[in-house]
Amino acid sequence: MDDTLIRLRDDAASAAPVLAFAELAETTNAAAVRLSPGDDARALLPLLGQLELVEVEFPGFNDGRGYSAARILREHGYAGELRAVGQVLVDQISHYHRCGFDAFRPDQPIARAAIDKAIATWPEVYQRTVDGRAPIWALRHG
Amino acid sequence: MYQYDTHDQAMVDARVAEFSDQVARRLSGTLSEEQFRPLRLKNGLYLQLHAYMLRVAIPYGTLSSRQLRTLGDIADRYDRGYGHFTTRQNIQYNWIRLEDAPAILADLAAVGMHAIQTSGNCIRNTTADHFAGAAPDEVADPRPYAELLRQWSTFHPEFDYLPRKFKVAIIGSETDRAAMKLHDIGIQVIRNDAGEEGLRVHVGGGMGRTPMIAPVIREFLPPLQMISYLEACLRVYNRYGRRDNKYKARIKILVHEIGADEYRRQVEEEFAHILTLGLEPPPAEFARIAAQFADPAFDPQAPEAIDRSDPDFALWVDQNVHPHKAAGYGIVTVSLKPTGGIPGDASADQIRLVADLARDYSFDEVRVTHAQNLVLPHVRRADLHALWQRLDAAGLANANLDLISDIIACPGLDYCSLANARSIPLAQKISQRFADPARQRDLGELKLKISGCINACGHHHAGHIGVLGVDRKGVENYQLLFGGSEGADTSLATIIGPGFSEDGIVDAIETATGVYLAHRSEGERFIDTYRRIGTAPFKEAIYG
Ligand code: HEM
Ligand code: SF4
**pLDDT (tens digit per residue) in B459-518:** 999 999 999 999 999 899 999 999 999 887 889 999 999 999 999 999 999 999 999 999
Please indicate, yes or no, whether residues B279 and B131 belong to a single structural domain of this protein.
Answer: yes
Distance B457 CA to ligand 1 centre (A): 4
Using the Cβ of B338 and the Cβ atoms of chain A, whether some distance falls under 8 Å is answered with no
User: Do B92 and B191 have their domain in common?
Assistant: no
Q: What is the pTM of this model?
A: 0.94
B243 touching A, CB under 8 A?
yes
Radius of gyration of chain B (CA): 23
CA distance A22 to B317: 69
Res. B7: pLDDT tops 90: yes
Residues B81 and B197 in one domain: no
The protein residue whose alpha carbon is closest to atom 15 in ligand 1 is B208
Q: Residue B269 falls within a domain, yes or no?
A: yes
Could you tell me the maximum CA-CA distance found in chain B, to the nearest angstrom? 67
Of all ligands present, the nearest one to the C-alpha of B344 is 1
Interface contact B235, partner A, CB < 8 A? yes
* pLDDT at residue B284 greater than cutoff 90: yes
Q: What is the CATH number of the domain that holds B475?
A: 3.30.413.10
What is the distance of C-alpha B304 from the center of its chain? 31
Ligand 2 atom with least separation from CA of B420: 3
Alpha carbons B402 and B371: distance in angstroms, whole number: 9
Please report the sign of the dihedral spanned by the C-alpha atoms of residue B180, residue B181, residue B182, residue B186.
positive
Does residue B387 contact residue B361 with C-beta atoms inside 8 Å? yes
Same domain, B143 and B85: no
Confidence band for A2, pLDDT divided at 50, 70 and 90:
low
Q: Which of B239, B240, B246, B270 to mutate to test the interface with A (most CBs of A within 10 A)?
A: B239
Q: Are residues B447 and B523 in the same domain?
A: yes
Give the bridge partners for A136, in sequence order.
none
Q: Is B455 in the pocket of ligand 1 (CB under 6 A)?
A: yes
Contact map slice: A 10-69 vs B, CB within 8 A: 37, 61-65, 67-69
Question: Strands B45-47 and B52-56, how do they pair?
Answer: antiparallel
**Are B464 and B341 found together in one domain?**
no
Give the pLDDT score at B51: 85
Q: How many CB atoms lie within 10 A of CB A94?
A: 21
B402 is a domain residue: no
pLDDT at residue A1 in the model: 44
Do B315 and B380 lie in one domain? The reply is: yes
Give B176-192 pLDDT, tens digit per residue.
999 999 999 999 999 99
The amino acid at B513: T
Burial of B77 (0-12, 13-18, 19+ CB in 10 A): middle
Q: Please check the confidence at residue B438 and state whether its pLDDT lies above 50.
A: yes
pLDDT tens digits, residue range B255-281?
Answer: 999 999 999 999 999 999 999 999 999
* Closest ligand relative to B486 C-alpha: 1
Residues B415 and B493 in one domain: yes
B285/A contact by beta carbon, under 8 A: yes
Per-chain mean pLDDT for chain B: 95
Which value, to the nearest 10 degrees, does the dihedral of the CA atoms of residues B359, B365, B370, B372 take? Answer: 0
Nearest CB neighbour to B279, from listed A68, A69, A128: A128
Buried/exposed B104-141: b ≥16 CB within 10 Å, e otherwise: bbebbbebbbbbbbbbbbbbbbbbbbbbbbbbeebbbb
Instruction: Check if B399 has its Cβ closer than 6 Å to any atom of ligand 2.
Output: no
Cβ B86 vs Cβ B55: under 8 Å: yes
CB under 8 Å to B358, separation ≥6 — which residues?
Answer: B63, B64, B65, B68, B364, B365, B366, B376
Same domain, B466 and B532: yes
Of residues B122, B8, B224, the one with CA closest to residue A125: B8
Q: Give the Å distance between the CA of B450 and the centre of ligand 2.
A: 10
Q: Which atom of ligand 1 is nearest to the CA of B211?
A: 41
Burial pattern B232-268, b for ≥16 Cβ within 10 A else e, equals bbbbbbbbbbbbeeeebbbbbbbbbeeebeebbebbe
Q: What angle do CA B207, B210, B212 make, to 5 degrees?
A: 60
Instruction: State how far residue A76 is from chain B, nearest Cα, in angstroms.
Output: 10
Q: Which of B78, B109, B140 is the last residue of a domain?
A: B109
Q: Residue B368: is it exposed, middle or buried by C-beta count within 10 angstroms (0-12/13-18/19+)?
A: buried
- Is there a single domain that holds both residue B285 and residue B150? yes
Q: Is B224 on the interface with A (CB under 8 A)?
A: no
Spatial separation of the C-alpha atoms in residues B92 and B79, rounded to whole Å: 10
Strands (E) across B418-504 are located at: 448-451, 465-472, 475-482, 494-495
Question: In terms of residue numbers, what domain contains B183?
Answer: 127-291
Domains of chain A by range and CATH? Answer: 2-141 (3.40.50)
Q: Which atom of ligand 1 is nearest to the CA of B250?
A: 16
Distance of CA A25 to the CA centre of its chain: 22
pLDDT at A24 (0 to 100): 86
B115 within some domain: no
Residue B232 counted as domain residue: yes
Is the pLDDT at B436 greater than 90? The verdict is yes
**Tens digit of each residue's pLDDT (9 = 90 or more) over B147-166:** 999 999 999 999 999 999 99
pLDDT one-digit tens code per residue, B351-385: 999 999 999 999 999 999 999 999 999 999 999 99
B121 touches chain A (CB under 8 A): yes
| Interatomic CA distance for residues B98 and B43, integer angstroms | 12
**Which ligand 2 atom sits nearest the alpha carbon of residue B456?**
1
Instruction: For B280, name the nearest residue in chain A, comparing CA atoms only.
Output: A128
Highest mean pLDDT among A76-85, B28-37, B49-58: A76-85
B18 within some domain: yes
Residue B90: CATH number of its domain = 3.90.480.20
Q: How far off is chain A from B15, nearest CA to CA, in Å?
A: 8
Q: Which of B416, B329, B403 is nearest to B373 (CA)?
A: B403
What are residue B360's phi and psi, to 5 degrees? -80, -30
DSSP 8-state code for residue B349: H
* B329 lies in some domain: yes
Share of chain B above pLDDT 70, in %: 100
Residue B399 in domain:
no
Q: Quote the CA–CA distance of B83 and B325 in Å, as a whole number.
A: 31
Closest CA to B236 of B226, B251, B221: B251
Q: Is there a domain that residue B301 lies in?
A: no
Interface of B with A in 142-201 (CB under 8 A): 151-152, 154-163
Query: For residue A67, which amino acid is it?
Result: Y
B109, B136, B169: which is the final residue of a domain?
Answer: B109
In which band, very low, low, confident or very high, does the pLDDT at B108 lie, cut at 50, 70 and 90? Answer: very high
Q: Residue B106: its pLDDT value, please? A: 94
Ligand 1 pocket residue status of B130, Cβ below 6 Å: no
DSSP H or E segment with residue B266:
helix B260-274
**CATH at residue B359:** 3.30.70.3340
Both B133 and B279 in one domain: the answer is yes
* Ligand 1 centroid to residue B265 C-alpha, Å: 30
Put simply, the answer to whether B22 touches A91 (Cβ < 8 Å) is yes
Reduce the DSSP state of residue A47 to 3 states and report it.
Answer: helix
pLDDT in tens, B34-52: 888 888 988 889 888 788 9
In this structure, are B144 and B105 located in the same domain? no
* Nearest-by-Cβ selection for A137 from B11, B160, B282: B282
Beta bridge partners of B218: B201
Question: How many structural domains does chain B have?
Answer: 4
The C-alpha atoms of residue B187 and residue B525 are separated, in whole angstroms, by 27
Residue that is last in its domain, among B227, B262, B291: B291
